Structure 1
Amino acid sequence: MEKINDPKKIAQALQELLEKNHDAGEVFKNGLEDTESDLLKNFLLTQAQQRARFTKELEREIYQIDEVPHNAGTFQGSLQRTWMDLKTIFSDNGDEVILEECLEGEKESAEEYERAIRKYNFSDDILRVLNGQLDEIKHTLKAVSSLKDLETY
């Protein structure tokens, strides 16, 4: 399959990743409000900060290809946060719900990055940013899995 070279479509793909990162950052911030665990709070804060950095990096790349980024989340992201809040309220173990949502979100993020990298003919600079972010997302997936394996958070 030949990769897409259209600069407008490449900018749109980066914009979609930007929006997903904004959503992920908001999910991590919401989780901060829903847990009492210091370990989990520290983890979620670190992840929220990471996603804020990812959005800045993606914004910079969008500007580099002469497009203007739109830093807003998606409707799906709003639904995910609401769903997590409801599940946390009605769960015996809110921290487990938070970690499950983080795990699902990170899996989706990794898949979206991999799909975009396969589909679009990004410049070497953009690929370096995307692959670096993907590596960090995969590291987060391992960290979330490790936290889920702990008895207490």
Structure 2
Amino acid sequence: METNENLVEVLNDLVRINNDRIDGYEKAIKETEDIDVDLKGIFQKMANESRENVTELSAEIASLGGEVATGTTNSGKIYRVWMDIKATFTGHDRASVLESCEYGEDAAQEAYDDALATDTDLPVNIRQIITDQKAELLESHNLIKKYRDLHQAVN
């Protein structure tokens, strides 16, 4: 039973980082200027991506007999990153918002790396889910980085 508890905790850590990511991008959508319609669409896509991740992770947690984490958390280095990002959106320019988002995406990658490196035995199907979600989040990270680099090149 301890293995299931440990596995549930690993998956709940990923639920939390995705919840933090959703909150961060929803805040970004609200704070982004009307002229940044392109960013609003990207931020909405990324929030939805994390919603899908949470749904998939929640199903695995339930199948293990665990309770799904709700909300976000202020504890732990990874989660604080998104909390800090949410606080930086107000009054910042496009470049700052993109840099903050990239930093948050780095934190999400770190959370997934930690999950894959855990001492807890990860069944093949769960390892595949984590790997697939990490790859999808890496694409989002690279898109944010591309927008940041393009913005820096133009200015």
Change (3 A) 1:11 1:117: same
Shift of 1:81: 4.7
Equivalent position of 2:109 in the other structure: 110
Shift of 1:79: 3.5
Per-residue deviation, residues 66-106 of structure 1 (Å, max 9, x unmatched) = 11102211123674255223xx32x3x2x222211211111
- Higher mean Cα deviation, 143-152 or 101-110? 143-152
Structure 2 residue 56 is matched with structure 1 residue 52: no
Out of 17, 27, 34, the position equivalent to 2:24 is: 27
Equivalent position of 2:88 in the other structure: 84
Alignment of 1:4-153 (within 5 A): 6-36=3-33, 37-75=36-74, 76=80, 79-85=83-89, 88-89=90-91, 91=92, 93=93, 95-119=94-118, 120-151=120-151
Maintained 8 Å contact 1:20/1:77: no
* Corresponding residue pairs, total: 143
Maintained 8 Å contact 2:20/2:83: no
Write the distance in 1 (CA, Å) between the matches of 2:57 and 2:81: 18
Write the distance in 2 (CA, Å) between the matches of 1:41 and 1:96: 14
Per-residue deviation, residues 97-142 of structure 1 (Å, max 9, x unmatched) = 2211211111111111112111132111111111110001111111
Change (3 A) 1:23 1:118: same
Change (3 A) 1:69 1:41: same
Q: Secondary structure at the match of 2:141?
A: helix
Shift of 1:149: 1.4
Per-residue deviation, residues 30-78 of structure 1 (Å, max 9, x unmatched) = 1001112011011000001001111111111101111110221112367
Q: Secondary structure at the match of 2:17?
A: helix
TM-score normalized with structure 1 length? 0.86
Which runs of 5 or more structure 2 residues have no equivalent in the other structure? Answer: 75-79
Write the distance in 1 (CA, Å) between the matches of 2:23 and 2:82: 9
Q: Secondary structure at the match of 1:6?
A: helix
TM-score normalized with structure 2 length? 0.85
